Structure 1
Amino acid sequence: MCSFPRQSDSWVFDELYRAGKIELELVPQGNLACRIQAAGMGLGAVFTPTGFGTLLAEGKETRHIEGKDYVLEYPIKADFALIKAHQGDRWGNLVYNKSARNFGPIMAMAADVTIAQVSELVELGQLDPEHIITPGIFIQHVVAVDAANGTGAEQ
């Protein structure tokens, strides 16, 4: 799962896709977030208005609810999630910078195993509980990475 599989040097993806060894499903970013969040919340499926009446809705169940049309979208669950946070403690409580908090928390909820890379590993109790976005219950491994040289150690 990724938000942009095609780049100028994406020959590995191209080869696997053409060989039928990997699938590509185009999903609007809002629907992607909704489907990941639905998996993390344990929902069976969700209705969303995005994509109704377009090629993205072909073959999917639709409903007209209270005057508005919706498309049924199923959750996307992951075996593993690799996420990045600004700060974290050894229990996996995480604080993010800016847009890193968009997909990180919901991916942590939707994955069976989540590995969090943190720029700053802090002692237990150092994080302000009001700033923790992802609680440690969703994180199985924390890796502190030194931003200067890219090396890390698992905690």
Structure 2
Amino acid sequence: MIDKISPSLQHAIAGLRDGASIMISGFGDAGAPHELMEAVIEHGASDLTIISNNAGAGETGIAALIKANRVRKVICSFPRQAASHHFDARYRAGQIELELVPQGNLAARIQAAGSGLGAIFTPTGYGTLLAEGKETREIDGRNYVLEYPIHADFALIKARAGDRWGNLIYCKVARNFGPIMAMAAKTTIAQVAEIVELGALDPEAVVTPGIFVNRVVQVAPLTVAAAA
């Protein structure tokens, strides 16, 4: 019987190791798996490469991972926000590496990994510092930059609900990077607000099929807001 439900957050992240690459879903707080990130801090893994839309803000999530000195490199689109002081401090001190990727390219490169593509050509970044040293090509009169897929050892994502097979549905804008990250990682771990019986999810509403999910852990909704 297929049963991907983990009894706890720490059980869900079993196998996490030093030096791992981790995709983390979210656009701001929407779709961000805060509880899974807290579990990573408690676990103690370090020298991590974080792949996400941003480099964290405030004192929670990715910012907390950076504050705890667990992150070696960040691959993201928006490293600096008004409250991204932990990333700023470590970057200026030369203690963290940054790979800046335009947001559309970030999504496209992650999707390419999940789709099994060897590389993609994108016009974004052509003629800028981000294209230095990269192969370029003119196609139908337009210039493109060759970019390679972004894979990861783990993906930590947040969904609205899931079942024991790992099928997932999302809540509105919280469906941002989660679906493509689930396809691009060796191990995908999803935290959900609700685990439902098999067959309870409308197949037409399932966004991430269980084939892309390895573990599902239930986390009570609004715990982050309550803690704040």
| Same fold, TM-score > 0.5, yes or no | yes
Q: Which amino acid aligns with 2:191?
A: Q
Quote how far apart the aligned CAs of 1:7 are.
4.5
User: Percent identity, aligned pairs only?
Assistant: 71
Aligned to 1:75: 149
Q: Which amino acid aligns with 1:2?
A: S
TM-score calculated relative to the size of structure 2? 0.61
The equivalent position to 1:54 in structure 2, one of 122, 128, 139, is: 128
**SS of residue in 2 equivalent to 1:92:** coil
Aligned to 1:136: 210
Count the aligned residue pairs: 150
Quote how far apart the aligned CAs of 1:102 are.
2.4
Q: Which amino acid aligns with 1:50?
A: T
Q: What are the Cα deviations for residues 75-129 of structure 1, in whole angstroms up to 9, with x where unaligned?
A: 1111111101111101110001112222111000000111101111100000000
Aligned to 1:92: 166
Unmatched segments (≥5 aa) in structure 1: 151-155
Q: What are the Cα deviations for residues 4-44 of structure 1, in whole angstroms up to 9, with x where unaligned?
A: 22345645534654565532011110000000001111111
Runs of 4+ in 1 over 3 A off after TM superposition: 6-22
Cα distance between partner residues in 1 of 2:81 and 2:157: 21
TM-score calculated relative to the size of structure 1? 0.87
**SS of residue in 1 equivalent to 2:218:** strand
Cα distance between partner residues in 1 of 2:215 and 2:129: 39
Q: What are the Cα deviations for residues 35-65 of structure 1, in whole angstroms up to 9, with x where unaligned?
A: 0001111111100111111121111100001
Higher RCO structure (Cα 8 Å, ≥6 apart)? 2
- 1:29 corresponds to 2:94: no
Q: Which amino acid aligns with 2:201?
A: L
Unmatched segments (≥5 aa) in structure 2: 1-50, 56-79
Cα distance between partner residues in 2 of 1:61 and 1:149: 46
For the structure 1 residues 79 and 15, does the alpha-carbon distance in structure 2 shift closer, same or farther, using more than 3 Å as the test? farther
**SS of residue in 1 equivalent to 2:98:** coil
- 1:110 corresponds to 2:184: yes
- 1:4 corresponds to 2:54: yes
Cα distance between partner residues in 2 of 1:149 and 1:25: 32
**SS of residue in 2 equivalent to 1:38:** helix
